[in-house]
Amino acid sequence: MPALKKIALTVTSAALLSGFVLSPAAAADKDKSDAKQPKPPSTMSGIGGERLGKAGTQVDLGPGAPVLPKGLTGRSWIVADAESGDVLAAHNSHWRLPPASTLKMLFADTVLPALQPTTLTHKVTESELAGVGEGSSLVGIKEDHTYTVHDLWLGVFLRSGNDAVHVLSEMYGGVPKTVDAMKAHAEELQALDTVVVSPDGYDAPRQVSSAYDLTLIARSGLQKKDFREYAATASADFPGEKKKGKKRDSFEIQNTNRLITGDIGVDPYQGIAGVKNGYTSHAGNTFTGVAERNGRVLLVTVMNPSAEESHAVYKEAAHLLDWGFAASGKVTPVGQLVPPKSVDTGTGTGTATGGKGAAPAAGADQGSGGQAEASHAAAANGSSGVGIALAIIGGLLVLLAGGVFLVNRRWPLTGLARRTPATTDAAEPTEAAERTEPTEPAGPTEPKASTGPTDSAGSTEKS
C-alpha cells in the first residue's frame, strides 16, 4: 500500500508539473474566476447564418486546414473574407458588447460622405467640446482655433480623438442628429446588434455592438476612398496651439493601430491596411483590422481579450489573420457577411440575392471600378453580396497596386504607411504632441480638453 501511495503521489506531482491538472485550491480559484466572467447568451442573432447565432467557436476545418490558434481569449471574434463575404471562423460573433472606439468606424462611414476632407477651416467653439467625456482619448483640439475638415478626420482616425468627433458632429448638425444618422446607417447595413448612444464610442449605458457588426461596418467603410486612406495613414502633422505673435507650428500624431505602427511586443503586420482599435475600462480592448496577402483580403474583429497580456487584442488579431490566410480555401464557411438592406432583397440571412436593379450602398466609390459597377455585375450574377465584396477588394487592390496604400505591400517598408502633413500653420506643440500611449490599459491616458459627462461606471478611455 505505501508503494501504491508513493506511485500515486508521483503521478499526481508529474501531472501538476505538466499542467494536466490543478491542485484543489487552484482549481477552486479558477472556478471562482470563471464564474465571475460574463457568459454569452445561449441564443444570439442569426443574421449571416444560423451557426453565427450559436455560442462558442464555430469553424469547419477541411482537409489540410490548420487548427485555430491556441490561447485565444477574446470574448468575441470573427475572421471573414472581404471578397466573398465568407465567415471562415467565429466565436460568439453576435454577442453584444461595448465597442469602445471601434464605433468610430460607423461614425466615419456615416458622416464622411457629408463632410468631405477640404482645406476650408472651421473655428472651434467651447460648446462643441462641452460633451467630450471625462478621460476621453483626445487629439488636442483647442477652442477658438481653426482646423480643416481634413485635420479633424486625421484626429478621428489616427488619435481616435473624441474632441474631433464632437466637432465634426456639431458640423454635421449636432450630436443627436449624428447619433440618429448612425442608427439609421447601422440598420441599413443590417448591423442590428449595434445600439448607438454616443458618436465616439465612449462608454454609455446600453451602447453595444458585436464582432459581426463591426466587421460589416468596416467592410462598408472600406468602400470609401477617403475612409481607406485615413485608416491606412501611419502618421501625420496636426495643427498645434496658436500663440500671439508666433507662427502656428504643428506636431506629429501617430496611428494608435499597433498593427500599423508597431510597439514594444507588437510587430507591424505584413499587409495591414487599417481599420480601427479602441479601449475603455468598461469595454476592454477592441479591434477591427483588414489585411491583404497574395491578392486575398481578410477582415478580423476581436473584442475584449484578456487584460493580463499587453497588446493581447493585436496579437490575437494577428494570429487569426495568419490562420485565415493559411485556411482560405480549406474550410467550409460558417456564415456570411450580409449586404446592406438597399441591396439585399431577401431576409438578411446571407442567402439573399440582389435581383435586377439592386442599388449600391451609400458612399461607395464611383470612380475606380467601385460599388456601382460591382453591384450591377452582382445583379447580373444573381448575388448582391458578391457585388458588395467586389467593390471592397477592387478598391483595395487598385489602391495597393497604385502605391497609394503604402502599408506593407512591399515588405519591409521604410515607412509603414502614408504620412500626411498638416494643412494649417501652427506654433508650439501642445500637450497632445508629447503624450504617449501606455502599453497597459490602466486608466486615462490623456488629459481632458473640456468638461463633459461621464458614464455611470466612470469610464476611462484610450484607443
Q: CA nearest 203: which of 93, 311, 278?
A: 278
Rounded-to-integer distance, Cα 62 and Cα 331, Å:
5
**What is the crossing angle of helices 175-188 and 104-111, to 10°?**
90
Question: Which residues contact residue 295 at a Cβ distance below 8 angstroms, ignoring those fewer than 6 apart?
Answer: 397
HEC secondary structure over 110-171 = HHCCCCCCCCCEEECCHHHHCCCCCCCCCCCCCCCCEEEHHHHHHHHHCCCCHHHHHHHHHH
Catalytic residue among 76, 84, 93, 160: 160
Written as nine digits, the cell of 68 is 485555430
Which run of H or of E encompasses 303? strand 296-303
Q: CA nearest 135: which of 436, 369, 462?
A: 462
For 407-443, letters b (16+ CB in 10 Å) and e give bbeeeeeeebbbebebbbebbebbebbebebeeebee
Written as nine digits, the cell of 350 is 446571407
State the DSSP string of 22-71: --HHHHHHHHHHHHHS----SB---TT-GGGGBSSEE-EE-TTPPPPPTT
Radius of gyration of the chain from its Cα atoms, rounded to whole angstroms: 23
Catalytic residue among 104, 224, 242, 315: 104
Rounded-to-integer distance, Cα 451 and Cα 454, Å:
9
Catalytic residue among 101, 169, 384, 459: 101
Rounded-to-integer distance, Cα 428 and Cα 278, Å:
29
Rounded-to-integer distance, Cα 315 and Cα 108, Å:
26
Rounded-to-integer distance, Cα 192 and Cα 208, Å:
10
Which run of H or of E encompasses 87? strand 86-91
Does residue 356 carry a catalytic annotation? no
Does residue 101 carry a catalytic annotation? yes
Q: CA nearest 331: which of 287, 298, 360, 357?
A: 298
Q: Which residues does residue 148 pair with via DSSP β-bridges, in sequence order?
A: 121
Q: How many CA atoms lie within 13 A of 179 on its CB side?
A: 14
Rounded-to-integer distance, Cα 35 and Cα 268, Å:
36
Rounded-to-integer distance, Cα 31 and Cα 317, Å:
27
Q: Which residues does residue 335 pair with via DSSP β-bridges, in sequence order?
A: 87
- Active centre residues (catalytic): 101, 104, 160
